[in-house]
């Protein structure tokens, strides 16, 4: 497929509350280096800035970030601020709070509910904004998220946050959060190789309720914050050849096909990969191809591995 002329609206739009976003967005984690956090070589700052600006030129208006996305030399939020401020009116910047890293890069102990104001204020400071469009509460393995989500709901009432979401959760956590305040998105690990039935259940529930489902690591698979997978099932390769596409584009296209409420946030520091990721929104799988890929996903669910 020819990628250069394809823009982020090719897959359509969805609503995050009253905010309209193109379904193909951008994840900012990899802006800080070749992998995540302190892993890999530090990124070239100017290159990262150019990738962000190119993303916006291609119609990306949904950027996912966090204050804890930083490496030894780079901060994703600072790069976003430098590249895109003053922010366009239609640009939606989504951040997440809960996890916390000290300045040496080590993960700190789990945040208490009263710590979250500081997390929100740090994101505001780094991004140079007076409010945050959407804040996801990233669950930190606690059984209940009620107290933490309630703390964010209070900040929403104060006007520091416009909309709320949740991340790395189970279906019961969605119900728990909705009893406190509206939830506009659920962000969980999900992709072709995902083997967690809870993610599929959340995908279904969100579709029924009109909530955005935002997979992370849709391309990276089990490698998570490491660079994306480089080995692919023969079926994925065959579909890629049929469309003159990359395996990563096929994986993104399959993810987007799971429902109009599914948003993609692939991340990269490579301008060529950015163009390819955005173009995946225009890749239309045939019913037969989709059924073949669905079977691969079902195998992962049933066996616990791809």
**Would you name the residues annotated as active-site residues?**
69
In DSSP terms, which residues pair with 165 in a beta bridge?
136, 185
Cis peptide bond N-terminal to 65, omega within 30: no
In DSSP terms, which residues pair with 164 in a beta bridge?
135
Q: How far is CA 215 from CA 39, 64, 72, 265, in A?
A: 22, 11, 27, 7
**Among residues 173, 149, 176, which one has the least CA distance to residue 163?**
149
Query: How big is the CA angle at 138 (ends 132 and 139), to the nearest 5 degrees?
Result: 150
What are the tokens at 227?
């660079």
Mode of pairing for the β-strands spanning 19-22 and 13-16: antiparallel
């Amino acid at each position: 497929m020819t990628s250069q002329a394809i823009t982020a609206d090719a897959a359509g739009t969805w609503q995050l509350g009253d905010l309209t976003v193109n379904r193909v967005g951008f994840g900012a984690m990899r802006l800080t280096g070749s992998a995540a956090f302190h892993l890999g070589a530090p990124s070239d700052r100017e290159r990262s800035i150019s990738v962000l600006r190119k993303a916006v030129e291609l119609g990306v208006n949904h950027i996912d970030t966090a204050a804890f996305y930083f490496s030894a030399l780079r901060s994703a939020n600072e790069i976003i601020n430098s590249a895109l401020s003053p922010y366009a009116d239609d640009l939606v910047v989504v951040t997440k709070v809960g996890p916390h890293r000290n300045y040496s890069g080590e993960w700190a102990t789990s945040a208490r509910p009263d710590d979250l104001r500081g997390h929100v204020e740090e994101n505001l400071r780094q991004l140079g904004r007076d409010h945050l469009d959407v804040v996801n509460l990233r669950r930190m393995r606690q059984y209940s998220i009620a107290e933490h989500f309630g703390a964010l709901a209070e900040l929403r009432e104060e006007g520091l946050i416009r909309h709320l979401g949740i991340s790395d959760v189970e279906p019961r956590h969605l119900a728990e959060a909705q009893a406190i305040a509206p939830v506009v998105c659920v962000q969980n690990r999900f992709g072709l190789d995902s083997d967690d039935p809870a993610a599929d259940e959340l995908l279904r529930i969100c579709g029924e309720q009109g909530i955005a489902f935002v997979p992370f690591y849709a391309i990276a698979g089990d490698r998570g914050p490491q660079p994306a997978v480089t080995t692919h099932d023969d079926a994925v390769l065959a579909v890629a050849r049929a469309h003159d596409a990359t395996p990563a584009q096929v994986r993104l296209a399959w993810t987007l096909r799971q429902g109009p409420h599914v948003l993609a946030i692939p991340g990269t520091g490579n301008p060529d990969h950015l163009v390819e990721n955005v173009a995946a929104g225009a890749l239309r799988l045939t019913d037969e191809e989709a059924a073949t890929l669905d079977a691969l996903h079902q195998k992962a669910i049933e066996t616990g591995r791809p």
